[in-house]
Chains A and B, each alone.
Chain A
């Protein structure tokens, strides 16, 4: 158990809908990262927050947005969903930025029908 929690575990929705994925980092970790893993692909970095502020942005679509709240939990919002958005979405946390090892949650499997 990494100490990072993600909810929900599974999500099935239809095209055009909007969903919110939630992540609680390990106690004491200030950085939260979101990743997308499509079938048989590597992890694609989406976005990083550090202590409530956006720190780095990767290949995140404009239809996707995220935020980190004062209690340090984070939410990833995916809107106008398309079939291609079906993937595993992982959240990771670390104490600081790059120098901190990233600890991953179990992921949310999103299926868009």
Chain B
């Protein structure tokens, strides 16, 4: 049972345009969501997070939107740059859970075309 789904295995975007990566979840108890970026041969790096009390969080070129009713979150990258080419993972968890663990999506490979 995939509780966190990233339905697009890959996405190709022109440099300078907006990249939108999507993530759906099924567990309504999740209240904390994160995006990580991963380059080949490296571990994932934290990008941005959002808690369920907010519907938007912005950090520079990266904005995460959360739609709780649709159980959907998205990561917007504006403008897209060549260095953004990587695999992006979304992850979800429950802050109040003593057995807390993050549930991860399968990742979306973002390719920024020059």
Contacts and interface: CB of A to CB of B under 8 A. Distances in A.
Interface residues on B, range: 20 to 34
B102 A104 contact: no
Contacts of A105: 43
Nearest to B31: A98
**Interface of chain A, main secondary structure:** loop
Contact of B89 (A42, A45, A99): A42
A90 B44 CA distance: 9
Contact of B44 (A41, A45, A98, A104): A104
Contacts of B9: 40
Most chain A beta-carbon neighbours within 10 Å: one of B42, B99, B101: B101
Contacts of B104: 35, 42-45
Nearest to B94: A98
A102 B107 contact: no
A106 B100 CA distance: 23
A42 B95 contact: no
Name, among A42, A92, A97, A102, the residue most crowded by chain B CB atoms within 10 Å (CB to CB).
Answer: A42
A45 B43 contact: no
A56 B46 contact: no
Given A99-B95, A106-B41, A41 B102 contact: no
Interface in A30-81: 35, 40-45, 48, 55-58
A19 to B, nearest CB: 19
A35 B44 CA distance: 11
Contacts of B101: 45, 48, 56, 58
Most chain A CB atoms below 10 A, which of B32, B44, B107: B44
B20 interface: no
Interface in A87-109: 90, 92, 97-99, 101-107
Interface of B: 4, 6, 9, 32, 34, 36, 41-46, 49, 89, 91, 93-95, 97, 99-107
